[in-house]
Structure 1
Amino acid sequence: MTSSFSSQDRPTGPPRLPTKPTGWPIGSYEEYGQAQRAVDFLAESEFPVQDVTIVGVDLMLVERVTGRLSWRRVLGAGAASGAWFGLFVGVMLSLFTGGQSAGLLQIAVCLVLGVLFFVVFAAVGYASTRGRRDFQSSSQLVAGRYDVLCQPRNAEQGRDLLAKLAMRPAAGPL
């Protein structure tokens, strides 16, 4: 899997600065999975996919509320994070000390200190909001539609292939 920033299989490489995409539209889809399926189909058809770009149009930031925050939840999450971090640091330190009992003592001390510090930091962070944000959420950038663009030299062939894909029965979810 390559990211949109890799230059693999691109002779000139991606632009270094943000630039508008170029090419002719050869397909438009409501969901990203559909656009991805279209590009996969082009790749399976031996189409030069290095000329293809998927562009999200009408971008929206969607924040989905996942739960209510309370002091109990905030302190519990801080304690859990601190315990994992303290355990990790304690195990790393114990690898470089001699004796089994000294190593176990280091792990225990790091675990307790990790919990203590993370609980304090979580409490300070939550208290500083003064109740203005008493919920958890996750954010996602989504588009109203996804256009598949292709460089002009291969756009007609790509449009023809995607028309064949549209004639197929719809596949199940990806």
Structure 2
Amino acid sequence: MRFPELQARDLDGRSVTLPTDTGDDPTLLLVRFTPRLAGDAETWVPLAADLADAVPNFWCYDLLVLPELPEAVQSLLADELRITGDRGTDAGGDDGVDSRSLTAHTDLSTFRRALVLDGLDRVYALLLSEGRVRWRAFGPLTTSLERSLRAAVDRHAGGERADDLVVS
């Protein structure tokens, strides 16, 4: 499954185009549709740090996807997220992973349909490479999801480019 092109901004206002800016590198996207799910996204960060230590050029983005809004409202919301500390897996932390918090505004129905994301009330972990979703799961990290993601990243590191693997 191809990840749809999505314009996002980091907390410093820099533009990121997904999946283009991730290139061929393995990238874990922690997709959520509300700031209140930051805690569920955070459960994935220690694993992302381990993977970053083991796999060259591994990335992790905490991606907050919100409805399309007028530009002025988006700017106000971005300022509010900075002030309230919704930093998710912000870069430069002590976790050892090069991770970034991103916010994107898009048509939620179209985005969710393209990725077959059922609800707005959970975090989705998507492993991308070469613009494609190679693995996915939802909810907080569990032991079985950790094993499954490690296996998917190992396959990628070994040069295997299998079809999507869906787990939950």
TM-score normalised over the length of structure 2: 0.27
Structure with the bigger RCO (C-alpha within 8 Å, sep 6+) is: 1
Q: Which has the larger radius of gyration?
A: 1
Greater share of helix residues, 1 or 2? 1
